[in-house]
Amino acid sequence: MLDVHRDFRCCDRCAGNATAVRTSRRRRLKAAIFPAPGGPLDGRGDPAAAGFPAPGELPRAVTGTVHDVSPHVLVIGNGASETRITLTSAATAWRGGPLDPSGVQPGDRAVVRLHRSQRSVADRIWANIGRVTGIILERDADSLLVDEGRTKPRQLVTIPAGSFGRIQVRFPSLEPGYLIDVIGLRRPGELEARIPATSQPAYPANRLPPPAMVTGRVPAAISGSATWHEPFDEPPGLLGVSYPALDPAAGCAEDPVGGGPAPRFARMPYLAVGSVLQIRNDCTGASCTLPVTGCAAIARLFNDRCLTCGTSPRGRVADLTQASFISLGGELDRGCFNATITIGR
């Protein structure tokens, strides 16, 4: 059995329990110096102009532990609070695969997407869903030890016999040094991989292809793929995005592979935590302004495309929190959507 070492480091500016407070304060300070057109932003004006989602639109996702479930009602909670959500015949669920919503079990960690027009009615439920994205460090029979970067603990991934063929079709090199990105059931101490999140790049992580030579200014709008990550050390329901090109001065510009900064295949400017991005789901047309809440160093290593609707340009441009990904119309079990980001001012 592979040994998962829990000794990891995280800089004090990466996403954590104080992320929501910190990013809110950064936005207020930035707004005081650089007011948006139309008037100052003091936190009491237009939330959308200040970098917040418009009231009544977000969040659409509710996250918590399942306390009770019946054919018609799902009860989930965080701590002492509980939320009752109506289940209809149109609701769908995923728990390692499609199942009836009433098949969700008490004790499961659930992410529920609500109907836009009926906020107390479930549209889709993901139970115990997890994701591991990183570099394979070790392989032992049906288990993998994966490095997700210095800001996260190493992850143990097990691949059941029934899922091995499906995963290896898109990740043929399950060997140390290669990248992996899988979705599955989160269990104590491990992820039981069920489906590939994307296709595996052909190169090992220590032989990254050089990015294309470019000249001129970085474009205002940048297209690529948007992914999601598990809420490690983040407040439940956080609306935010980890950015692949965080300013090195922030202390989160990791070098996961050694030998200098990892390339960013999508041409992106450096930003700081607290900056705002306009993110558009090119598949659904949904868009929202979100704060940068952390770094996405591993995302820089993937020179891949998203195929949710057509073919996106190469490179990952945003690594969203679960709540943000769902609110923008993403399906967690799909892994990504084609996206365009615009840098806020």
327: Cα separation from own chain's centroid: 12
Alpha carbons 337 and 329: distance in angstroms, whole number: 9
User: Which pLDDT belongs to residue 26?
Assistant: 47
The pLDDT of residue 5 is above 80? no
CB 85 within 8 A of CB 113: no
Q: How confident is the model at residue 17 (pLDDT cuts 50, 70, 90)?
A: very low
Strand order in the sheet with 81-86: 81-86, 73-78, 61-69, 109-114, 122-127, 92-94, 98-99
What contacts 10, CB < 8 A, 6 or more positions away?
16, 150, 151, 152, 233
Q: Pick from 136, 148, 179: which is nearest to 295 by CA? A: 148
CB 253 within 8 A of CB 246: yes
The pLDDT tens digits for 94-105 are: 999 999 999 999
List domains and CATH numbers for the chain.
61-127 (2.40.50), 130-196 (2.40.50.140), 221-343 (2.40.40.10)
User: Average pLDDT, stretch 153-172?
Assistant: 95
The pLDDT tens digits for 200-245 are: 988 888 887 776 555 567 678 999 999 999 988 888 788 999 998 8
Supply the mean pLDDT for the chain.
81
The pLDDT of residue 40 is above 90? no
Q: How confident is the model at residue 2 (pLDDT cuts 50, 70, 90)?
A: low
* pTM, rounded to two decimals: 0.81
The pLDDT tens digits for 270-292 are: 888 899 999 999 999 999 999 99
Token pair of 42 as six digits: 């003091």
The pLDDT of residue 86 is above 80? yes
Q: Residue 8: phi, psi to the nearest 5?
A: -135, 160
Q: How many CA atoms are closer than 13 Å to the CA of 155, on its beta-carbon side?
A: 29
User: Which pLDDT belongs to residue 232?
Assistant: 83
Q: What is the DSSP string of 171-216?
A: ----STTSEEEEEEEEETTEEEEEEESSPPPSS-TTSPPPPPP--S
